Amino acid sequence: MCKQVQDKEKNHKECNVDNLVANAAATVTKNIDPRTLVQFQRSKQLVGIQEPRDDLIKKLSQVSEQELRIFSIYGGGGLGKTTLAKAVYDMLEGQFHSMAFVSVGQKPNEMQVLRDIIYKFSKDLNTATLNIKQLVEELHRLLENKRYFIVIDDIWESSAWSNIELAFPESNLGSRVVITKRIHSVANVACSNRNRVEMKALNDQDSRILFLSRIFGMEDACPDVPEDILSVILEKCHGLLLAIISIASLVAKDPSRRSTWDYVGSL
């Protein structure tokens, strides 16, 4: 792992962002992965993803490159990789014959991922008894002579991607695959440098806009807020989209009371 990524991981740990998000998510909702909540937010309600979204769509839409192209979105946890991928996926809806968005996770089950993709294209097909070779063959059959767009979200291991990649047939129809992952080395394995998008933390202004808009609907529609506590909260969020949304959900329960802000600021 390169020094840049190591520094980001260290910074991430020092700010205790994982615990911050976990505590907020546990308070807001139970048994729901907070990434799932972010994934289905309307992209127009989110801040800081417009530029990388438009940049990735531009790359995906290069008409001169009709062969299968694989792209990656990488960066530390909570930066908004899933959100960006879903925003791009929604924007491109209707431009491909076949589309699918599936998740992998930290403990990958390649066969289940392949079954999930197949299910998106053929809900009546029983894949329970198929081995990995048969699943790959079935997916090739379903995608043959079709222009497809598939998002594989949250890949942690290079080996998992290597097995899944085999399932995508080569074609000259402009098919695209996007994968998201935290580990830089997986990004190197998946695709060339020009096909990678690195997610970065939100700047102070975008962090503030997103936080207040999640509570009050629009930043300019919010009443007076305790700026001292707001600064403390945003500093703890460290520009991470997932942290900002999760913590804002706590404040949104009763933003008119100073005690609410004090409690959240003390987490």
CA atoms of 203 and 200, how far apart (whole Å): 9
- Between helices 227-237 and 258-265, what is the axis angle to 10°? 30
CB 244 within 8 A of CB 212: no
The CA R_g of the chain, rounded to the nearest whole Å, is 20
Question: Tens digit of pLDDT per residue, the chain (267 long)?
Answer: 344 434 444 444 444 555 555 555 444 434 334 444 444 455 455 678 888 899 899 888 876 778 899 999 988 888 889 999 999 999 998 899 999 999 887 787 889 999 999 999 999 899 999 999 999 999 999 999 999 999 999 887 777 787 788 889 988 899 999 999 876 555 455 555 568 888 889 999 999 999 998 888 765 556 778 999 999 999 999 999 889 988 998 998 899 889 999 999 988
CA dist., res. 67 & res. 63, Å (int): 10
What are the structural domain ranges in the chain?
A: 3-33+202-265, 50-198
240 vs 142: CA distance, rounded Å: 38
Number of Cβ within a 10 Å radius of residue 186 = 21
Give start and end residues of each alpha helix (H) in the chain: 3-14, 17-28, 34-39, 50-60, 81-91, 110-121, 132-143, 158-165, 184-190, 204-216, 227-237, 241-251, 258-265
CATH architecture of 50-198: 3-Layer(aba) Sandwich (3.40)
Q: Which 8-state DSSP code applies to residue 225?
A: -
